[in-house]
Amino acid sequence: MYYSYHATAKHLIRSGKLTGWYLTKRHNHISPALVLLFDDPNHPIMPIREHRFGEYFEMLPGYLEISPDKKATVPSRND
């Protein structure tokens, strides 16, 4: 079944399910990555590639940005 990854991410943001976000040098095989964290069982973590950052920065609330020192407590698929 096909679904649009970016349409899903943007829908979750507009729906208020975004719980946090951060920039990282590498997330799985995406480097650099904007990592979006959601309160959604099907899409808890959605990394975004650099060429799409601009689309998302316009939508992201700054108060949900996770600082680098707190990022270590966020679950990652790399673990």
On whether residue 78 sits in a domain, the answer given is no
On whether residue 77 sits in a domain, the answer given is no
Query: What local confidence, expressed as pLDDT, does residue 66 receive?
Result: 87
**Residue 64 lies in domain:** 5-71
How many distinct structural domains can be found in the chain? Answer: 1
On whether residue 76 sits in a domain, the answer given is no
Query: Contact, 74 vs 25, CB < 8 A?
Result: no
Element (H, E) at 57: helix 53-57
Dist CA 61 CA 20 (whole Å) = 9
Q: What is the number of alpha carbons within 13 Å of residue 23 lying toward its C-beta?
A: 9
Quote the tokens at residue 48.
């975004």
Query: What local confidence, expressed as pLDDT, does residue 68 receive?
Result: 63
pLDDT under 50: residue ranges of the chain = 72-79
